[in-house]
Amino acid sequence: MTQSIHMRKVYIFLFIGASFLLQLCTTKKKAQNATVATKVTYVTDIQPLVVKHCSPCHIPPQGKKEPLNTYAAMKAEIDNVIESIKKNPGEHGFMPARRAKLSDSTILVFENWKKGGLLEQ
């Protein structure tokens, strides 16, 4: 009798240990997924940046410059866009015109969008 109570304790102990290990593994996996998931899409990432930094100039009808307010336009212009936002204020073709240079992390979003295959959503 004492033997089986002792065994039950061992089982409970093993069970708790195993659940703890399982928990550890899944938490680690979640953390990894979070860092790997750098999916950049037009709808989630690019469009808000264009609205924030490139309006009104590139958003018709107020904007008279080449429209950048659609997925198709941004996709077609991405190389020009990256080139111009990487320039420095004062350089010919620097964008956003007459404003401060975008932050490195914002520029990186455009570059990662291109790298990731220019996803719409």
Question: Given the rule CB under 6 A, which residues bind ligand HEC?
Answer: 53-54, 57-58, 65-66, 68, 77, 80-81, 84-85, 93, 95-99
Distance of closest approach, residue 121 Cβ to ligand HEC, in angstroms: 20
Are 63 and 55 within 8 A, CB to CB?
yes
Whichever of 40 and 81 has its CB closer to ligand HEC, that residue is 81
Whichever of 12 and 97 has its CB closer to ligand HEC, that residue is 97
Greatest Cα pair distance in the chain: 89
Instruction: Give residue 80's region: left, alpha or beta (phi > 0; psi -120 to 50).
Output: alpha
Q: Which value, in Å, is the radius of gyration of the alpha carbons in the chain? A: 26
Distance of closest approach, residue 106 Cβ to ligand HEC, in angstroms: 8
CA distances from 117 to 41, 48, 93, 120 (A): 9, 18, 25, 9
Whichever of 78 and 119 has its CB closer to ligand HEC, that residue is 78
Distance of closest approach, residue 84 Cβ to ligand HEC, in angstroms: 5
